[in-house]
Amino acid sequence: MTLWEPATGLGCTHCLNTAATVTASVQYKVTVQNEYSCVAEDFVTIKTYTSGKVNIPSAFTPNNDGLNDVFYIMGGKEVKQVNNLSVFNRWGEKIFESVNSPANDRNYGWKGTFKGNAADAGVYVYLATIEFADGKKEVYKGTITLVK
C-alpha cells in the first residue's frame, strides 16, 4: 500500500512512483505498508522559485477553485525566508500575520479570511520583511486586492 498526501498536483496518489506538477512549493507525505503490515512514512518537499528576486501579486481570488486562492510571497533562490508578512484592512487593523516562513509556500500565506470568516472584497495593505541568503533584509509594502 502506498499513499501520497495531499493529492494536489500528483499524477497518482496510490503509486510507489508518481509525478508532481506544482506551481508553488509544497510538502508531500508518503505512507507505505509492506506485506507484513509494517508502516513507514516520510516527507518530500518540492521547492519552486520565481525568475525574479521577489514577486508579490497585486490581486488574488480566495474562492477555493485552486487558482490564486492565497496571497503569499514568491521569491528566487536568494530569498532565505519571509521574516514577517502582515496584512491590514482599510482601518489599519492587522488581519493576518505570518512570521519566519519560507517563500513560495502558500501554506504560510493569507487565505482571505479574518477571524475565521471570509474577508470582504476590496483593497488591503501588506507589509513584508524579507531576509536574503547574504543576510540583508528588505521591506516591501503595497496593496493586495481581494477579488470575489
Segment of 17-21, 46-50, 73-77 carrying the highest mean pLDDT: 73-77
pLDDT for position 90 = 92
pLDDT for position 81 = 96
Look up residue 20 and give its three cell numbers: 508532481
Domain spans of the chain?
A: 2-46, 54-146
Burial per residue of 5-36, b for 16 or more beta-carbon CB atoms within 10 angstroms, e otherwise: eeeebbeeeeeeeeeeeeebbbebebeeeeee
- What architecture is the 54-146 domain classified under in CATH? Sandwich (2.60)
**How confident is the model over 49-73, as pLDDT tens digits?**
666 789 899 999 999 888 889 999 9
Please state the pTM of the whole predicted model: 0.71
Pairing state of beta strands 122-132 and 79-88? antiparallel
> Helices in the chain by DSSP H: which ranges?
none
